[in-house]
Structure 1
Amino acid sequence: MGVPASDDCIQRATAIASYYTAHASAVFDLIAADPAASDASHILEWLARLRQNGMQRTTVKRLDVVGGAHHFRGRIGDIDPSLRLPRSQ
């Protein structure tokens, strides 16, 4: 059956797996593998911009996002998955 892996071997394997997991996650972010995360990024960028009158947005409706964020022109249903993402993402 072979020799059992030592604790040190398991710890090093865990460190390597964590390293590659973090890098794979970064690559997925770069290639926008998750369309909802990419769309949420567009929404956040739009929200950060000042309104035409120079004021910050205090209330936003789904229709406001579709009309304001060029990425969503006319696709109101497409923003729902993005709005359901947890804040930590």
Structure 2
Amino acid sequence: MKIYDTNAGEWTSMEIDNSLKIDRRHGHTAVLTSDGNIIVYGGGKGELHITAYPQLFVLKKYRKSYKWVIPTVRTTSYSAPKLIYHSAYEGQR
């Protein structure tokens, strides 16, 4: 995987564990967390906007590699937002 460092203005290579099947998608959100992980939610695939799977996953940043993981989500009283063309942010409610 190629990673662009916006501060240094250069590309570097990083190993990534591709053992988890992640559908290509569009219309999703991705949020960079304060600890350097990336949370991806929703999105569709193809012209018919079929739901892409998994619907929620995280790119975990380790010292010399990255790994895709599916987090365990506890049930809340909130209903999930629509899965395509939505917005997101990392913050407190």
TM over 0.5, yes or no?
no
Q: Which has the higher strand share?
A: 2
TM-score under structure 1 length normalisation? 0.21
Q: Which has the higher helix share?
A: 1
Larger Rg: 1
